[in-house]
Structure 1
Amino acid sequence: MSPYAPSESVARALDALPRERLPALLRLMPKAELHIHIEGSLEPELIFKLAQRNGVTLPYASVEALRAAYAFTDLQSFLDIYYAGASVLLKEADFFEMAWAYLERAAADNVVHAEIFFDPQTHTERGVPFETVILGLDHAVHRAHTELGVSARLILCFLRHLSEEDAFKTLEAALPWRHHFIGVGLDSSEMGFPPAKFERVFARARELGFHIVAHAGEEGPPAYITEALDLLHTERIDHGVRCLEDAGLVARLAASRMPLTVCPLSNLKLCVFKTLAEHNLPALLDVGLCAMVNSDDPAYFGGYLNQNFVETFAALPQLGARQAWQLAANSFEASFVSDEQKAHWLHQLEVAVLSA
């Protein structure tokens, strides 16, 4: 059971909110985003701008041609274009500009806190120093706090299609800048690359005091979620939508309040679900799981956080104001911040409901 529940006045306001006012509440309410790949926020316009600035030749003639290529059939077809887009990121200013653009959009969506994934191996493999990546991103994070009022933290992710040895090298290379990121995660191609492959490097990351998250149960089976829990000791499951195929796993996730960072438009774009109306987000909430809404790779999947909320709620009439409040509260519950900060954001959420 969630440790958070709306006050009586807020519960009454949620129950009384007319359906036509629900989109306004979704946009207005404060929320945390815990599953956002910063390289996946790189819009085509910025890709072409950086390509021109850095002398990078792209395999697409125009912004429109690049957007037209976003017809993905699965995770791998997306990743092929994702890595091509990242090739324009070469200098510290490029990483700053990419992250700043996302954080401005996050502020416009009333995201008060973001825990942002970045993939250093995508860049170091191309000869870009880790220092260039982390300093550009960190600059944007600090500027967002002072100028936008958005709290943000960075989480270093290992690419699971590469070796554990390479992940170890990446972690050790990152340690001089360890105060710039709060955790480590696991992303990229899921099928055929189980969490067990990275058990030792995650043990090392835990020894170093980092938070642990991992992608599992998007395309991969529920067994990958179990491995992430048992072998990596993850504190959040990124995606996790296939957990409903295993009743025992669902009970375990519910009892432990293990967060699931669900990404509806991503799931639609990558054909995890054929339509948003078939998405299992309502079922995840109905069985008491700590699910929340995120945008994943918004430049590629058709929407930032508010767009995910609005389109998902429009497609699933069983989701109403109560579920909106719960999803936002879950995002705060699952964030790696102090209890005092969570309480502050929950109060802001109550104010938003009462003014909706």
Structure 2
Amino acid sequence: MFKVPPVFARRLQELLRAMPKAELHIHIEGSLEPELIFALAQRNDVPLPYASVEALRQAYAFTNLQSFLDIYYAGASVLLHEQDFYDMARAYLARAAMDNVAHAEIFFDPQTHTARGVAIETVINGLHRACEDARSELGISSTLILCFLRHLSEASAFETLEQAQPLLDKIVGVGLDSSELGHPPEKFAHVFARCRELGLHLVAHAGEEGPPAYIWSALDVLKVERIDHGVQAMHDAALMQRLAQDRIPLTVCPLSNQKLCVFPDLKNHNLRQLLDAGLCATVNSDDPAYFGGYINENFTQVFAATDMTARHAYQLAFNSFEASFLPAPRKAELIARLQAHIHAFA
């Protein structure tokens, strides 16, 4: 077993920022910073209901998931052309590389755009081109996960899957996001079964605001490989045991949980409890432009608020590579790089 050397508390924050890691829960539309929203609005002649960048930032006072989604979809309205999607993804990947993210698996919401008349090819081709350029120019690998909007119908999800069929070589999997309450995973059982037949990886948001029962449904009905969020699992001992035993990853997003009042105070976040119970928990940024921080801010703030140690830091980074959809040799390479970094740092 790999042993994590002791690290002095004052250097822990530096370790969190410097260690290699993967990001597995990032909504690319949620990385759209206010400055880029205004720049794209001007480029595309799209009117905005805010007078300035600062006025838009001040609107980021959310009371729950739905209050966030209302602004999230309004911000996405400036994305019209392939270059817009490229610029958005390229900006995120540059920032992720600065945070020592070695690999990212990026969510995108095609229905948000096709409903406005933007072709799905425009969305996917722009994002994919940014991923390819970032790989060669920044050394960060990335893949795309197409997410269905759960507040829409399963028929709409099937329509989106059909539109994406010619482009499936440019995505690694499908997910399920948007409003959780009132939209249980089983609503999408048939479309997820079809995606599984197509050989796509499967993930789903469950157990952020929704109950542990949604996590069970995501696992048993949708047959997902990862649970996005999943923090409500703590309220179900049998579920916790299953998640630990089967090493089912949870892509936890601390600042998002705080901003959306799931854990109003980070000192009460259950990330450490999830780790100490043997779960394959990871740290991610969710919608960093809206929730106050990219992946390193999620690491440093939740560690500052809790009593986690360098051992937890290593485990979270290790879990992120283990939980990724990378080929086994690439996972082993990144885990070896992480271990060498931890030893050299300590």
Q: Name the structure 1 match of 2:314.
A: 325
Does structure 2 conserve the Cα–Cα contact (< 8 Å) formed by 1:263 and 1:294?
Answer: yes
Contact map agreement 1:264 1:312 (CA 8 A) in 2 = yes
Distance 2:106 2:290 in 1: 16
The correspondence for 2:306, drawn from 303, 316, 341, is: 316
The aligned counterpart of 1:282 is: 272
Give the letter for the 2:12 counterpart.
L
Which amino acid counterpart does residue 345 of structure 1 have in structure 2?
L
Query: Counterparts of 1:65 and 1:173 in 2: how far apart (Å)?
Result: 37
Residue 91 (structure 2) pairs with residue 81 (structure 1): no
Count of paired positions? 345
CA shift, 1:274, in A, is: 1.4
Note the C-alpha offset of 1:290.
Answer: 0.4
Distance in 2, matches of 1:228 and 1:190, equals: 12
Instruction: Give the counterpart of 1:345 among 306, 331, 334.
Output: 334
Match of 2:107 among 111, 117, 120: 117
1:140 maps to which of 103, 124, 130: 130
**1:6-45 matches, cutoff 5 A:** 6=2, 8=3, 11=4, 13=5, 16-45=6-35
Give the whole-Å Cα distance in 2 for the aligned partners of 1:129 and 1:180. Answer: 15
State the partner residue of 1:244.
234
Residues 178-220 of structure 1 deviation map (CA, whole Å, 9 limit, x = unaligned): 1000100000000000001000000000000000000000000
Q: Whole-Å Cα distance in 2 between the matches of residues 338 and 178 of structure 1?
A: 18
Provide Cα deviations, 1:220-270, integer angstroms capped at 9, x if missing partner.
000000000000000000000000101011111111000000000000000
Verify: 1:166 aligned to 2:156, yes or no: yes
Deviation at residue 80 of structure 1 after TM alignment: 0.2
- Measured after TM superposition, the shift of residue 84 of structure 1 is 0.1
C-alpha displacement of 1:355? 2.1
RMSD of equivalent CA atoms: 0.6
Deviation sequence 1:252-309 (CA, Å, 0-9, x none)? 1111000000000000000001100010001101111000000000000000000100
**Preserved CA contact (<8 Å) 1:25 1:352:** no
| Among candidates 141, 147, 157, match of residue 151 of structure 1 | 141
Determine the structure 2 residue equivalent to 1:106: 96
d(CA) in 1 for partners of 2:191, 2:52: 41
SS in 1 for 2:62: coil
Instruction: Give yes or no for the alignment of 1:47 onto 2:37.
Output: yes
Q: Within the alignment, does 1:269 sit opposite 2:259 as a pair?
A: yes
**What does the per-residue CA deviation read over 1:11-39, in whole Å, with 9 as the maximum and x for residues that have no partner?**
2x2xx210100011101100000000000
Does the 8 Å CA contact 1:41/1:300 hold for their aligned counterparts? yes
**Which amino acid in 2 is paired with 1:347?**
A
The TM-score with structure 1 as length reference comes to: 0.96
- The 5 A counterparts of 1:224-235 are 224-235=214-225
* Distance in 2 of aligned mates of 1:131 and 1:248: 43
1:40/1:297 contact within 8 Å kept:
yes
Q: Which amino acid aligns with 1:214?
A: A
Which sections of structure 2, spanning at least 5 residues, go unmatched? none
1:67 aligns to 2:57 (yes or no):
yes
TM-score, normalising length from structure 2? Answer: 0.99
CA distance in 2, matches of 1:69, 1:222: 31
Distance in 1 (alpha carbons) for counterparts of 2:221 and 2:286:
24
Between the aligned partners of 2:282 and 2:126, the Cα distance in structure 1 is 28
Q: Residue 293 of structure 1 corresponds to which residue in structure 2?
A: 283
Q: Which amino acid aligns with 2:340?
A: V
Q: Secondary structure at the match of 2:221?
A: helix
1:198 pairs, out of 162, 170, 188, with 188
Q: Report the secondary structure of 2:312's partner residue.
A: helix
Q: Runs of 4 or more off by more than 4 Å in structure 1? A: none
**Conserved? CA contact 1:75–1:189, under 8 Å:** yes
| Secondary structure in structure 1 of the residue aligned to 2:12 | helix
Post-superposition Cα deviations, 1:14-68, rounded to whole Å, max 9, x if no partner, equal xx21010001110110000000000000000000000000010001110000000
Paired residue type of 2:253: C
Aligned to 1:354: 343
Distance in 2 (alpha carbons) for counterparts of 1:17 and 1:48: 43
Identity %: 68
Alpha-carbon separation, structure 2, partners of 1:182 and 1:168: 17
Report the Cα distance in structure 1 between the residues aligned to 2:300 and 2:166, rounded to whole angstroms. Answer: 41
